[in-house]
Structure 1
Amino acid sequence: MLYINGEWRNAYSNETMDVINPATGEVIAQVASGGSRETKEAIAAADAAFQEWKNTTAFDRAQYMKKVSELMRERAEDLAKTITMEMGKPINEARREVNSAINYNDWFLEEAKRVYGETVPASHQDKHLMVLREPVGVTAAITPWNFPLSMITRKISPAIAAGCTVIIKPAPATPLSAIKLFECFHDAGLPAGVVNLVIGPAEEIGSELTKSPIVRKLTFTGSTAVGKKLLRDSADTVKKVSMELGGHAPFIVFRDADLDLAVNSAVMTKFVNNGQTCICTNRIYVEESIAEEFGEKFAAKAKALRVGNGLNEEVQVGPLISEQSLKKVESHVQDALAHNGKLLCGGKRYESEGLNGYFYEPTVINYANEEMKIATEETFGPVAPIFSFSSEEEVIEKANQTNYGLAAYCFTKDLGKAFRMMKALEYGIVGINDPAPIVVQAPFGGYKESGIGREGGRSGILEYVEEKFVSIGGL
């Protein structure tokens, strides 16, 4: 179902889209598939609602959002199962995603009350200078399939907290989580038009959102290639944009690191969500003297991971999202082996009785080199290449030698080295001896072609406001 102007509805065409469980290949639902006409109506509804919503007090907006969080908590298990069924991640990871989604909403409902203005010291005695922060306006949010719930609240919550109204376009592969979330918005009693949900073809819906002069803000999470297109398409109306795009995270292990911590952390950052995250480890750099030992321990841990349907409580690695994704992983592994990589574990599709989905074995490749596709392209799957290095200067150069700059990880016990790496790595997020540096109270975003703007933390809500300078004279 689509949700426009406070009402659930079908598409005018009555067309639907299949939602497929990637663990089984089965169609688990059919949802309405809208297009240009429905998107225009959603924009109009958001525009009409904005005139009142922007003048609603921050305290009142926070109360609506608080009710949404309460409903999400009540429905947490259903939300988690929905995530697992439509995109495949293990149920325990899905539960953590639900908690993250709630935490973002909780954070921004409090930030709603803290969009402060400023007074500026005047240069003339007869003037009074002020800076006001006002909601940017109607906002379009395009969200990905790999975190189909938390990526929505990370965008929609700061937007409505700031006083904006929103049109959400979720990924076609994972609309069910969005529908479940919008049921919470509806049951929380948000005024009609404040939040709108349009599901359907990306090109048709995206075109309406980018070309509309009513839409003043576009926020997107997805590939860098799509992000660049949306930027070009938004240029004619000079929209405010924020984008969280692709990544190619280096994971650096020095010989003075706690080796077991580094191995366990690499397993976490590589295989969480089956490697389908923008901040997952893409390149593991290990100092030469410990490279063999690290590779053996890491491969043993990877090989022991349990693969299967994410609804099984014991499963640690679920399926890839699609056959296309599976083929990309296969091509990267074949290319790496053709360029003299050594397979330590995995390397083929995972097959087991009762599983008919898009599974690939957790794979570790040693002796990786810069000639491999995997050294520069985002794999988005359970494949870990291990490179070796001999000096701090060398690994810094290799780590930064990419157009991406989202997340990086470094493991060392040397405090001075840690600080040097922190400064030298050209990434928006750096985890030093920390495989999970993402928290709701801190900004999330990247350098270079990994994005524009920040989500989360204090910065997150400021992406949805404009600054208005006011000078009052004749005092």
Structure 2
Amino acid sequence: MSSKPVLTTISPITQKAIHTRDEFGPDDIPAVVEASKKAFASFKASYNLEARQKLVTKALDILESKAESLAHDLTEQMGRPIQYCAKEIKTAVLRGRYMLKVSSEALKDIPGDEEAGFTRYIRKEPLGSVLVIFAWNYPYLILVNSLVPALLAGNALILKPSPQTPTVPETFLSVLKEAGLPDDVVQVIHCGNPDTLSKLIATPGISSVTFTGSVVGGLAAQQAASKRIIPVGLELGGNDPAYIRSDVDIKWAAEEIVDGAVFNSGQSCCSIERVYVHQDIYDKFVDEVVGVVKNYKLGDPFTGASHLGPVISVKSAQNIRKHIDDALKSGAKSLTPDVFQEGEALGETFVRPEILVNVDHNMQVMKEETFGPVIPIQKVSSDQEAVQLMNDSDLGLTASIWTRDITTGEKLADSVEAGTVFVNRADYPSPDLAWTGWKNSGRGQTLSRFGFDQFVRLKNFHLKQVPS
């Protein structure tokens, strides 16, 4: 029996233990880092870009073939209704294939200006050993964002998942091995101790860190790397606003907003967290949102009939309800119908969709990331007021504007402080566009051809021909 500390994964559905893993500790750091360094050197020498592309292509094909069978594990570990889980894996494969498609162009040498007697160019070199720390809420999608471009660029990787979804990187490692990946080019560690992670980040031999998770966690990763000169990529939280202009199709917009706010029980960095509605349609829009929410079902995520399952943990449920209670005590009103009592009876983690009106920016639910199925709706009198409120946040991941007038929507979007601005869409990272956060929502980017940039360093070649 192992003498190591053990990490236990608790099912958000039953509150019972479903997985245990030996915890990576400080004494494990030297061996893992050294193995990664050696594997990187061999991988760089033996696998050119074409070979890496073939390997990743085969691995993605294998992963896609397993999508349906992997859905059960994902539902069990993070509570999302099972009918949606295979789609996450298939979408992750599509993202990976897009990164494959653009990798040759993104990683090619860049020639310098022509000059007689000289050859000059810029080469994009891999960094070395990349530590990838990633969250549980969309674990396959989040991991693909870093793993595929980092591996295609020629790096070795150390993957540190959330303790809530330990099997996800293990599955990736398995399919990569099946595709022919050499030993230790990708390693998986399980760690729940922030001090251990800080020591790992501070260890010479770790060449880069990418972190996806909370702002607090990202700041800790940044602090751990502060005495080293290494890149730290951060994909952090969001408090993403939506503005509904008076010219929209109210029924359509209500359906879109509810889906963007409560899908995955609102546990998405880019879910809609606050809604601003023009006063001319405010009452009708609110009524329509209530009607849409009535048709949602909160329940057992394994039945195939539930739209919403539990949130990830009791602690998360308590934080969501704390935000709701703060709003109610400050004058907000709940419009949530009583149709979710059966679902709520399943346990503390089964949090009902909550519609809040009479909200303002003195309330936590409008100022902080709630990360739950909550739709706070505030009335505004003009486009200018809406944009001002949308920008009244220290987070800036995504934002959306809903209007029939695309020209005006684009102009308003240009004034919104966020890494991605949507018009008539929300909650959709496009693989061909850079995924990046403004303000405290992050630093660096994934996806698109720019998604390779944080996994390479530039090396200039300056060659002068010697006269014969």
**Partner in structure 2 of residue 146 of structure 1:** 137
1:82 aligns with 2:73: yes
Cα separation, 2, equivalents of 1:346 and 1:189: 54
Matches within 5 A, 1:18-37: 18-37=8-27
Q: Is the 8 A contact 1:155 1:219 kept in 2?
A: yes
Cα separation, 2, equivalents of 1:353 and 1:387: 26
1:333 aligns with 2:292: no
**Partner in structure 1 of residue 109 of structure 2:** 117
**Partner in structure 1 of residue 241 of structure 2:** 250
The TM-score with structure 2 as length reference comes to: 0.95
Measured after TM superposition, the shift of residue 349 of structure 1 is 8.6
Matches within 5 A, 1:51-450: 51-55=41-45, 56-114=47-105, 115-121=107-113, 125-345=116-336, 351-352=342-343, 355-356=346-347, 358-450=349-441
Q: Is the 8 A contact 1:25 1:357 kept in 2?
A: no
Measured after TM superposition, the shift of residue 258 of structure 1 is 2.0
Q: Aligned with 1:231: secondary structure?
A: helix
Could you tell which deviates more after superposition, 284-293 or 350-359? 350-359
Q: Aligned with 1:361: secondary structure?
A: coil
Distance 1:238 1:474, change over 3 A: same
Amino acid at match of 2:33: I
Q: Aligned with 1:89: secondary structure?
A: coil
Amino acid at match of 2:180: G
Q: Aligned with 1:237: secondary structure?
A: coil
**Partner in structure 1 of residue 29 of structure 2:** 39
Cα separation, 2, equivalents of 1:302 and 1:354: 18
Cα separation, 2, equivalents of 1:353 and 1:203: 33
Cα separation, 1, equivalents of 2:167 and 2:389: 40
Measured after TM superposition, the shift of residue 474 of structure 1 is 4.8
Cα separation, 2, equivalents of 1:456 and 1:352: 37
Q: Is the 8 A contact 1:35 1:201 kept in 2?
A: no
Measured after TM superposition, the shift of residue 52 of structure 1 is 1.8
Q: Is the 8 A contact 2:399 2:426 kept in 1?
A: no
Task: Choose from 437, 440, 443 the match for 1:452.
Answer: 443
Cα separation, 2, equivalents of 1:353 and 1:213: 49
Cα separation, 2, equivalents of 1:138 and 1:348: 51
Residues 336-395 of structure 1, C-alpha deviations (whole Å, 9 max, x = no match) = 111111111159995549833511110000121111111111101111100111111111
Cα separation, 2, equivalents of 1:291 and 1:202: 47
Q: Is the 8 A contact 2:243 2:277 kept in 1?
A: yes
Residues 323-346 of structure 1, C-alpha deviations (whole Å, 9 max, x = no match) = 111111111111111111111115
Q: Is the 8 A contact 1:308 1:318 kept in 2?
A: yes
Q: Aligned with 1:23: secondary structure?
A: coil
> Over aligned residues, Cα RMSD in angstroms?
1.9
Q: Is the 8 A contact 2:202 2:228 kept in 1?
A: yes
Q: Aligned with 1:174: secondary structure?
A: coil
Cα separation, 1, equivalents of 2:194 and 2:231: 20
Q: Is the 8 A contact 2:298 2:340 kept in 1?
A: no
Residues 9-42 of structure 1, C-alpha deviations (whole Å, 9 max, x = no match) = x9x6343222221011122222222222333322
Measured after TM superposition, the shift of residue 177 of structure 1 is 2.2
Cα separation, 1, equivalents of 2:334 and 2:22: 44
Q: Aligned with 1:440: secondary structure?
A: coil
Q: Is the 8 A contact 2:235 2:442 kept in 1?
A: yes
Could you tell which deviates more after superposition, 195-204 or 80-89? 195-204
Cα separation, 2, equivalents of 1:138 and 1:289: 55
**Partner in structure 1 of residue 3 of structure 2:** 13
Could you tell which deviates more after superposition, 71-80 or 105-114? 105-114
Cα separation, 2, equivalents of 1:460 and 1:171: 22
Measured after TM superposition, the shift of residue 127 of structure 1 is 3.5
Measured after TM superposition, the shift of residue 105 of structure 1 is 2.4
Distance 1:155 1:346, change over 3 A: farther
Q: Aligned with 1:381: secondary structure?
A: coil
Cα separation, 1, equivalents of 2:344 and 2:121: 68
Q: Is the 8 A contact 2:334 2:355 kept in 1?
A: yes
Amino acid at match of 1:233: A
Q: State how many pairs are aligned.
A: 464
Q: Is the 8 A contact 1:248 1:281 kept in 2?
A: yes
Distance 1:186 1:125, change over 3 A: closer
Could you tell which deviates more after superposition, 276-285 or 412-421? 412-421
Cα separation, 2, equivalents of 1:356 and 1:412: 39
Task: Choose from 50, 62, 71 the match for 2:40.
Answer: 50
Measured after TM superposition, the shift of residue 419 of structure 1 is 1.8
Q: Is the 8 A contact 2:344 2:350 kept in 1?
A: no
**Partner in structure 2 of residue 5 of structure 1:** none
Q: Aligned with 1:410: secondary structure?
A: strand
Which residues of structure 1 form unaligned runs of 5+?
1-9
Distance 1:184 1:354, change over 3 A: farther
Amino acid at match of 1:39: I
Q: Aligned with 1:236: secondary structure?
A: coil
Residues 144-184 of structure 1, C-alpha deviations (whole Å, 9 max, x = no match) = 01112221121111111100000000001221222222221
Measured after TM superposition, the shift of residue 126 of structure 1 is 4.3
Cα separation, 1, equivalents of 2:387 and 2:103: 40
Cα separation, 1, equivalents of 2:344 and 2:376: 29
Q: Is the 8 A contact 1:111 1:461 kept in 2?
A: no
Amino acid at match of 1:116: K
Q: Is the 8 A contact 1:104 1:440 kept in 2?
A: yes
The TM-score with structure 1 as length reference comes to: 0.93
